[in-house]
A and B are shown apart, each in its own frame.
Chain A
Amino acid sequence: MTPRIRRLLGLFTALVCLFSVAPVVVIVLESFTATQYVVFPPRGLSLQWYVEFLRRPEFVNSAIVSLVVALCSCLIATTLGTMIALALARQSSASGRILQSIFMAPLSLPGIILGLGLLQLFAGWGIPRNVATMIFTHVVITLPFAIRFVSIAVLGIDRDAERAAQSLGADPWMTFRKITVPLIRPGIIASLVFAFILSFDELAASLFISSPAATNLPVRIFVYIEQNYDPLITSVSSILVFAAIVVLIVIERTIGMGRLFGLRTRSV
């Protein structure tokens, strides 16, 4: 590559990076506006829209629902994902691989279709639409990631470490606790934080299964935007951004964004 082309490519890449983060940055900046209407660039600096958020019980309630659903579903999905990964990751048999790809199927299914199917299932079978059913819906959506992340960690284990523990007299449970778990911890952490944020952000499927008993924050935002256009949503949306920043920091500290998505950088 000639230096001139490289510079041009670099400039283009910088512009695309700007394009990539623009909508998120705009939302966070706008959330501190002092105006009563949406205007960008924002005018003045104020926390009034955050105060307004706290004054609206339906938004606070949805934030709590989102948090509870995300916490529970990331714990359940990671537990189930770890069990499945332990059972299947080392299997090279055809049935093992078929099972693995079956568990990956939700990745390819559009959220609105899953949501529509669940809506018709719940209505037909008289299953209530509440926090619990939302949790399990999110478990299905996040499970493929949990299985994938833990499987990668399981495949990275040196099996001799487990054999050594067993030959020194550790029973299977002790071997699992003292050897396997610490070795697959990065995969488990990746699974927990990624499943958490995926559930916290989930809209398409949740839109169909939300009810007065359980409406998560993305659904609340969607429904509000359809009717209104004011800066309140920028402060509510910023909460989703702040959650993402916390998750980003945890990922960067543990395995890194690049590795999480299977991308090698120069140093590796």
Chain B
Amino acid sequence: MLMSTHTDTTDVAGPKRRFGLRIPTTLLLLLPGLAVFSLFFVLPLAILAVNSFHGYSRLSGISPDFTIENYVLALSDRYYIIILTKTFSLALSSAFFTFLVGYPVALYFYSASERQQGWIILLILSPLLVSVIVRTFGWLVILGPNGLVDVVFKAFGLEGGSILYSQTAVVIGLVNVFLPFFVLSVATSLNAIDPAVPLAASSLGASPLRVFASVVFPLSMPGIASGLLIIFSLSSSSFVTPALLGGSKFRVLSTEIYQDALVLQNWPFAASLAIILIFIVLAVLVAQNTFVQHSRYRVVFH
């Protein structure tokens, strides 16, 4: 009995000493990061969640009582239903048009020479390094009064049918901003295709169109699905582009949050809209993890 207890302790002492060294090291390495993360990420989200259940009046400010009034209003009032619908339609159309613009580029990238690939990477990816505010302002200059489109239209004697401050302008801006993510997503899944597979199809007599339709396109589906979901999620929460290219009458969830929080100072209601937006983004994330084999097709972003 005594012997066995003795051997037990020595058996445990070996690994224990090793762990005794390793766990504190790991913990020490993680501690500063966890501290910053908790203070500047977890805490603000918790406060948002709590505040979203508080009331607000213009006279007395935030009241500390518990109420679900904000959520009821946001999910039943006609004005906010329209905003939610608009947010969805904007996210859907920008995902769709990003697919139309981006898929052929990814396809060409797949079969391009090394030099061409270098150029595509440079021109498609490097705008990611430039602030969204700058790229959006660029569209303001292109689409705005005396802008490129306006000047070209006038040169042909046409009425400069301005598309600025419309959903079209916002979609153009969003497609431009999110294009790199879609191309990355599809190019990654195309890269994963074994070149022997399309080759085998064509050597068995399939026409180029048939090879694309029955082999390449289906194999790139995970990249397409993942890309579409990423663009949907990013578009539904984008703020700068709708705010600047959509004009003051263009209201989506994000611009409404900004308006409620910074102009009207109704923080509890803004918080409830923010929580609703989080649920939209989370739903997309869950869809992505369910439908897409994420580990293999995941790009660095997202």
Contacts and interface: CB of A to CB of B under 8 A. Distances in A.
A12 B104 contact: yes
Interface in A110-137: 110-114, 116-121, 124, 136-137
Nearest to B39: A136
A199 to B, nearest CB: 11
Contacts of B136: 23
B223 to A, nearest CB: 12
Given A112-B254, A237-B137, A263 B44 contact: no
Contact of A263 (B121, B277, B285): B121
Contacts of B33: 80-81, 83-84, 103, 143
A241 interface: yes
A184 B133 CA distance: 33
B41 A260 contact: no
Chain A interface size band reads 35 or more
Interface string B127-139: 1011111111111
B301 A107 contact: yes
B19 interface: no
Interface string A179-218: 0000000000000000001001111100110000000001
Contacts of A105: 41
A56 interface: no
A247 B141 contact: no
Contacts of B262: 207-208
Interface stretch (B66-74, B76-84, B183-191): B183-191
Contacts of A87: 25-26, 29-30
Interface in B246-302: 254, 257-258, 261-262, 267, 270-271, 274, 277-278, 281-282, 285, 299-302
B118 interface: yes
A253 interface: no
Contact of B179 (A20, A99, A139, A248): A20
A263 B180 CA distance: 12
Contacts of A12: 104-105, 108
B163 interface: no
B220 interface: no
A38 B44 contact: no
B105 A13 contact: yes
A203 B139 contact: no
Contact of A108 (B120, B135, B137, B285): B285
B36 A39 contact: no
Nearest to B101: A16
A222 B240 contact: yes
Contacts of B51: 120
A107 B239 CA distance: 16
A81 to B, nearest CB: 8
Given A5-B208, A218-B133, A267-B114, A24 B140 contact: no
B237 A113 contact: yes
Given A207-B258, A221-B137, A26 B142 contact: yes
B121 A265 contact: yes
A113 B277 contact: yes
Nearest to B45: A117
Given A80-B33, A108-B285, A240 B123 contact: no
B226 interface: no
A1 B267 contact: no
B108 A263 contact: no
22 contacts: A2-B208, A9-B108, A13-B105, A16-B102, A16-B104, A21-B127, A22-B142, A24-B138, A38-B145, A40-B147, A84-B33, A103-B37, A110-B281, A113-B237, A113-B277, A140-B40, A201-B134, A202-B131, A207-B262, A229-B144, A241-B130, A244-B130
